Amino acid sequence: MSEVPHTSQVTLPVTSLWANRKCLIIACIVATANTQYGFDSAAIGALQAMPGFLKVFGFEDPSSPLGYGIDSTFQQLIGSLLTLGAFLSSILAGTFGAFYGRKTALWLACALNCVGLAIQIGTTNKGVVYLGRIVLGFSNGFLVTFSNIYTAEIAPAHLRGVMVALFAYWVNIGAIIGTIVDNYTKDRMDKGSYQIPIGSLYIVPVLLAIGLFFVPETPRWLLHHNKESQARKSLETLRANSLAPEYFELEWAEMVRGVEEERKTAKSVGFLDMFRGADLRRTLLCWGTIMTQAGSGSWFPIAYQTYFFQIAGIKQAFQYSIMITCIGFVGVNCGMYAMRHLVGRRFICIFGSLVTSFCFLGMAVAQSTSPGTLTTGKVTVAMTTIFGFFYNGCVGAATYPVATELVSSRLRAWTVGSATSIQYVFAWLTSFCTPYFINPGDLNWGPKYGYIWFGSNIACAIFYFFCIPELKGRSLEEIDELFEKRVGVFKFKTYRTEIQEKALHDVQANTGAFLEKQPATSHVEVEQSEAKTA
């Protein structure tokens, strides 16, 4: 390395969640947008097992235990059209975000969400239901993309992992609520069996739309749109009394300087800049990180857990679904704690991928050695439960924090939106191909399908190890500098950045405030120390 080693630095104090409670509450309000995703997945997926729903949208089938059947095309479309809508909105997120704020995008999503729900509740026509699913999917794409962007842009650097991980937190809460509502309406034989769960989905967009009136636009978006006074006021609202005035000035100066540096490297505002210079690496890493959600195979055990219950001879499928979802929720809380106090994002992603890979290997080996037995069924259910805990606590909790940190503020809506759209494509591909692997009329692999996902999770772990740098504790502006300087993956954690030093000079020049430097070991000193040890 060519630069002079630094022996001291000024860093923002590591404050507690309680000290940042105002910012945390604001992040929680916005993150509730993700509840809709979990709620819809759980509630709508279970409708296909409700006689009241099948009575309207299915057909009589005396051979079925429920007395009704459902057309496979309708069954596929109500799921895939939601994915299509989310794919389209995620693609458009960059264009929308370039001109309108994060709050405006979320308000639009809330309005479309209500329209999509009204369409589905008020019709018995399958074609109209398809329209409602597309509209709802479009809304969900905006809700997921912009809520995660928002929380990433407002959080203090040392709490960003926890606040963005609220995505997984609220998704699981939504799934729990959805399964509980379904459990209490599943035996109804009228339209209320499905209209009540769908109507319950109004809770999220209505409350979120109201809550958005009380939260500020993100300061980084405002700075990028030349609204400096509004940006400073937004940051003052978010930080409240968590920082001493001189440290607030340091964070503000760093943010302003970071936006200025981004403008110097910008050639245009739009899609093409994602593939220029240092941003190309950041785009590919963001895409890869989000795609590991599909690469983890999470859709497979979640969608087919009822099938696993049948193999195991377990009859209370709804109750066990609630149990597994709750275990996943516990996993999210453990993962958030680990990211905050114990390990970095990189470690937790690698560890999670390895554990989930062996969960899939366990169910596949059980099916290979004792196919179709009660013991195999129980092993499969156990592996599915363990998978739910570690997927939600590791990969599920950490991927969005990492993905939103990896990209620049100016291109965040473009990059995260496009990554989310690619993720939806792979999720759809998984749902489309899975029946051919497990269906008795086709390959009839059953749980042996886990061999594929074992390999996929190992590939994800390798990707995390060799490609994803450790970003814990770094400000978004520091991350920008690290990528601009082409710092290698294994040097990110110890590399000394310069932007805070420059921001400190700005603060001292403008206010005369003095901030005491703390001893710090530079990346050069670390390398020398490691060389001596070796």
Domain ranges of the chain: 19-222, 267-496
Amino acid present at 376: T
Checking if the pLDDT of 10 tops 60, the result is no
Structure tokens at 1: 């390395």
The 10 Å CB-count burial string (b at 16+, else e) for 327-358 is bbbebbbbbbebbeeebbbbbbbbbbbbbbbb
pLDDT, tens digit (0-9, with 9 covering 90-100), for 69-78: 667 677 667 7
Determine which of 278-292, 426-440, 456-470 has the lowest per-residue pLDDT on average.
426-440
- Rounded Cα distance between 180 and 39, Å, is 10
Q: With contact defined as beta carbons under 8 Å apart, do 461 and 354 qualify?
A: yes
pLDDT score recorded for residue 25: 93
Structure tokens at 191: 């339209």
pLDDT score recorded for residue 113: 93
Q: Which helix (H) or strand (E) holds 59?
A: strand 59-60
* Residue among 322, 532, 287, 519 nearest 417 (CA): 287
In this prediction, residues 85-107 reach a mean pLDDT of 87
Checking if the pLDDT of 143 tops 70, the result is yes
Checking if the pLDDT of 320 tops 70, the result is yes
pLDDT score recorded for residue 179: 77
Structure tokens at 213: 């009136």
Residue 12 pLDDT class (50, 70, 90 cuts): low
Checking if the pLDDT of 44 tops 80, the result is no
pLDDT, tens digit (0-9, with 9 covering 90-100), for 52-65: 777 878 777 776 66
Q: With contact defined as beta carbons under 8 Å apart, do 218 and 154 qualify?
A: yes
Checking if the pLDDT of 509 tops 60, the result is yes
Residue 310 dihedral angles phi and psi, to the nearest 5°: -65, -40
pLDDT score recorded for residue 425: 84
Structure tokens at 438: 């497990």
* Residue among 270, 300, 299 nearest 283 (CA): 270
Residue 224 dihedral angles phi and psi, to the nearest 5°: -65, -20
How far are the Cα atoms of 314, 380, 433 from residue 319, in angstroms, in the given order?
A: 10, 17, 28
In this prediction, residues 464-473 reach a mean pLDDT of 90
Structure tokens at 67: 């007395």
Topology, domain 267-496: Growth Hormone; Chain: A; (1.20.1250)
- Rounded Cα distance between 69 and 54, Å, is 7
Asked whether the CA dihedral 30, 33, 38, 42 is positive or negative, the reply is: positive
In this prediction, residues 64-88 reach a mean pLDDT of 74
Q: Quote the pTM value.
A: 0.81
Higher pLDDT, 445 or 121: 121
CATH for 19-222, options being 3.40.718.10, 3.90.1150.10, 1.10.3720.10, 1.20.1250.20: 1.20.1250.20
pLDDT score recorded for residue 526: 36
- Rounded Cα distance between 442 and 324, Å, is 29
pLDDT score recorded for residue 478: 85
In this prediction, residues 427-450 reach a mean pLDDT of 74
Q: With contact defined as beta carbons under 8 Å apart, do 180 and 66 qualify?
A: no
Q: What percent of the chain has pLDDT over 90?
A: 22
pLDDT, tens digit (0-9, with 9 covering 90-100), for 399-413: 888 888 898 888 888
Higher pLDDT, 270 or 462: 462
- Rounded Cα distance between 491 and 482, Å, is 10
In this prediction, residues 476-491 reach a mean pLDDT of 87
pLDDT score recorded for residue 84: 83
Q: Is it true that 19-222 and 267-496 share their CATH fold? A: yes
Mean pLDDT of all residues belonging to the chain: 81
pLDDT, tens digit (0-9, with 9 covering 90-100), for 213-222: 999 999 999 9
pLDDT, tens digit (0-9, with 9 covering 90-100), for 341-393: 888 888 999 999 999 999 999 988 988 888 777 787 778 888 888 998 999 88
Q: What percent of the chain has pLDDT over 70?
A: 82
C-alpha 253, offset from chain centre:
29
Instruction: Collect all residues with Cβ–Cβ distance below 8 Å to 29 and sequence separation of at least 6.
Output: 208, 211, 212, 214, 215
Instruction: Collect all residues with Cβ–Cβ distance below 8 Å to 236 and sequence separation of at least 6.
Output: 248
Checking if the pLDDT of 7 tops 60, the result is no
In this prediction, residues 282-294 reach a mean pLDDT of 91
How far are the Cα atoms of 40, 205, 381, 449, 461 from residue 47, in angstroms, in the given order?
A: 10, 21, 22, 26, 35
Q: How many helical (H) and strand (E) elements, i.e. helices and strands, does the chain have?
A: 25, 4
Residue 512 pLDDT class (50, 70, 90 cuts): low
